[in-house]
Structure formats: C-alpha cells, structure tokens
Amino acid sequence: MESSTAQPFRLLVTGGGTGGHTYPALTAVRTLRARLAAEGRALEPLWVGQADSLEERVAAGEGIAFRSVATGKIRRSSSPLKMLSAANMRDMGRVPLGAAQARSIVSDFHPDVVLATGGYVAVPIGLAAGVCRRPLVVHEQTVRLGLANRGLARVADRMAVSSESTLELLSESVRRRAVVTGNPVRPEVLTGRVDKALGLPALAGFAPGLPTVYVTGGAQGAQQVNRLVSQVLPELLQHANVIHQCGPDNEASLREHATGLPPDAAARYWLTGYVGAELPDVLALADVVVARSGAGTIAELTALGKPGVLVPLASSAGNEQVHNARHLETAGAAVALVGEVAAEDLTAALGPLLADPARRSGMGERARSLGRPDAAERLADVLLAAADR
C-alpha cells in the first residue's frame, strides 16, 4: 500500500450480536484509522450487521456508515428434531435474501478488505467477499472457533486467532492461513492508575493493607456471580476490599442484602450497578478479578496480568466460556469454577489468593504471558497485508 495515494482505504466490517464480536471490531477500526492517518490516508469503513442491534448502535456512535442484511440464526440443539424447529425454519428462509443483499453490498462498496469477527450476521458478507473476490480476514476471539467462523475459515484469505492453542484445533489448510494476533483490547483499559482509583470517593473506606477484589458480570451483571458473592460477602470482607459491579437491575436488591454488614466492612464494599470511565483505574487497583470468562474479559485480564477466578456462563454458544476458563486454568493463569458452583467453591478459590501475595503475583505473571496488548496493531497489520495481496 502506498501512503501517497489520495484514495481512502475501504474497510468492510461485519460481525456482531454480542459485545464479544462487536467491540474487537470497533477497536480494530479505530486502530486502522489511526495507522492510516499517520500515513496521510483516510479510512472509509462500512459496517454490515443486523438491524436494531448492538453493532448498529456502536457504529452510529462511532460515525461509521451502517448497512443491514437479513439474517438466519441457527438455534443449536443436540436433538435433530429440535434443530427443525419453526423458528429455525423461518430464519433459514431468510438466508437467500441475506445472501443477495450481501453480494450487492460487497459489489457496490468494493472494499480493499473485509473483516469478519463472528456471529451469524457475518456469514453472508464473508461468503459474498469470496464471490466478489475481495480479501477476507476472519478474526476469532475465543480458543475454539465459533460456528460462523468455522464456516468462514474455509474461504478466508487470513484467519486471525487470539490464542496459540487455537492453531492445533484448525485443519491443516486453515492453519496455513492462520496468524495469532490476540483479541483487540480497548487501549484505555491499559492506561489505568492505582492512585486515581484510590482517589474515588466510593473507595475512601478501603483498607490499604488488604487486597482488592473486583467482581463483574459484565455491563448487565450476572445473576450467578452476584448470588455467589452475596453469599460469601461477610467472610470475604474480612480479608479484602471489594468492588462489585452487579448490573443496574440488580443493584437495589443487593444493596438491601448488604445493609446488615458491620460499618467497617461496609466501608470496604463498593457496590455499583455499572463501572464507567473509571474502569481502567479499577482494573489497575484490583489484585484479583471474579468474572465470567467471555473473550473480552479474557483478553483484558491477560493483557493486564490479573489473576482471575472465572465463573463461565454455562449456556454460552459452543460452551466457549468454559473452554476459555479451562484454557487459563491449565496455564496456571486463573481458577475456573465450572458446573454447579457453590459459595464454598468461591471461598476456596479466593482464600489462597487473598492470603498469599506471591501466589497472586505468580498467577498474574502467567496470565500476562498469555496476553497480547498489541492485538489491535497485529490485526491491523493482517488487514493491510491482505489488502496488498
């Protein structure tokens, strides 16, 4: 690619349905835009996704042009008869329309490269890229390829994966086109400061001699994680300060539950529905993180080198959160609590970490060894190389 050209670089992005597919794509767009701007070239992105979706809202907030296509979601089941549900049949009837729309969009936009980050909405655009002979880069956020990406991997020019462990799970033909980039992490997550966190009014009662546990179930919270933490909270606060992001809909009930805490323990507990701009500083302060094990969480914990106690969402697509959690546990980078998790299991996982700074440090270093904080830059490299083929 020559930096002197006045033509903008056209990037077609597709993927969404969840934040795990959407936010890595957004970070890649931002990184590629900055890279091109430094070379005196503009980026012209187009995001293709489902109408009235998270990806549409994210694209609008970033000023990215958006087009929607009809989609057909496959509701998976171990029972072949359940796979033939009315909902599946109805959605599959939308596939031909989505394929035609996708081919028209790719042909009209004529992108320099297409980036697909997963979700069933990515399939028609990814296949259209092949038909229209446009370079296709598929990015997988989890250890095991999702259903959509498994299909697109066969036609992708480059398969970008987040973990070395993924390579051994690929067919030989796909492995030859694969590159380990990591999962893009929002740059601001890496800029947190402990002193800024300690300056937050809500943390004024925290004990400086105790480790800090950050509990999160994501922006909306997680009922299972909230329940476990509330059950062990009095004992936990004897050994740690606790920051608990519980989700806006759960805050009132958990606050009522915490009213019986002794004043000194209550001062070491910050319950909040949502952690916003202060999240990087909260993560910088955290000595241990209790969380789900979605791809974004894994990417952030490993990039920051944070020990985690992971409670996977059992119903995640393809059981991907369990695979993620066990991958980190096998590497000594986290503790995975899988299956029917009891309060005693959480206490048993947290106790040794809170009592032993050296154990926390070792687990954090092993987590950091798996992290790729430069993942967005690596993915930008892949996109530019694919466009230059």
- The pTM of the full predicted model, rounded to 2 decimals, is 0.85
Same domain flag for 166 and 213 = no
User: CB atoms < 10 A from the CB of 373, how many?
Assistant: 19
pLDDT along the chain (389 residues), means of 10: 69 92 95 96 97 95 96 58 53 74 97 96 95 97 91 96 94 97 94 97 97 91 93 97 95 93 96 94 98 94 98 81 94 96 97 98 97 96 93
In a domain, 4, yes or no: no
With the C-alpha atoms ordered 131, 132, 137, 138, is the resulting torsion angle positive or negative?
negative
Q: Are 106 and 114 in contact (CB under 8 A)?
A: yes
Q: Identify residue 350 by its one-letter amino acid code.
A: L
**How distant is the alpha carbon of residue 254 from its chain centre?**
26
Residue 135 lies in a domain: yes
Positive or negative CA dihedral for 187, 304, 302, 19? negative
Q: What is the pLDDT of residue 389?
A: 72
User: Is residue 51 domain-shared with residue 129, that is, in the same domain?
Assistant: yes
Note the pLDDT of residue 85. Answer: 56
- The answer as to whether 3 is a domain residue is no
CA distance 122 to 117: 7
Burial 320-344 (b: 16+ CB within 10 A, else e): bbbbbbbbbbeeebbbbbbeebeee
pLDDT at 5: 53
Query: Are residue 210 and residue 164 in the same domain, yes or no?
Result: no
Q: Is 160 a domain residue?
A: yes
Residues 279 and 383 in one domain: no
The pLDDT value recorded for residue 3 is 45
CATH of the domain at 120: 3.40.50.2000
Amino acid in the structure at residue 77: S
DSSP one-letter code for 314: T
Instruction: Choose among 358, 303, 304, 301: nearest CA to 335.
Output: 301
In sequence order, the 6+-apart residues with CB closer than 8 A to the CB of 128 are 99, 102, 103, 105, 106, 107
SS3 content of the chain, % helix, strand, coil (to 5): 50, 15, 35
- 23 and 168 belong to one structural domain: yes
In terms of domains, do 243 and 152 share one? Answer: no
User: Does residue 161 share a domain with residue 63?
Assistant: yes
Q: Are residues 21 and 51 in the same domain?
A: yes
β-strand partners of 288: 213
Predicted confidence at residue 221, as pLDDT, reads: 81
CA distance 163 to 363: 18
Dist. CA 337–CA 224, nearest whole Å: 12
Amino acid 24 reads P
- Sign of the alpha-carbon dihedral angle for 27, 32, 38, 43: negative
Give residue 79's pLDDT: 57
In this structure, are 173 and 197 located in the same domain?
Answer: no
Helix (H) or strand (E) holding 20, with range, is helix 19-38
Domain that holds residue 88: 9-184+374-387
pLDDT, position 342:
96
The amino acid at 107: S
Question: What pLDDT score does 1 carry?
Answer: 45
142 and 94 fall within a common domain: yes
The whole-number pLDDT of residue 63 equals 97
Q: Torsion angle of alpha carbons 176, 178, 180, 186, nearest 10°?
A: 170
What is the distance of C-alpha 129 from the center of its chain? Answer: 25
Answer yes or no: do 163 and 222 share one domain. Answer: no
* Claim to verify: residue 28 and residue 165 sit in the same structural domain: yes
Looking at the structure of the chain, the number of domains it has is 2
Please name the amino acid found at residue 352: P
Q: Are strands 158-161 and 334-336 parallel, antiparallel or unpaired?
A: unpaired
Per-residue pLDDT, 2: 47
142 vs 130: CA distance, rounded Å: 24
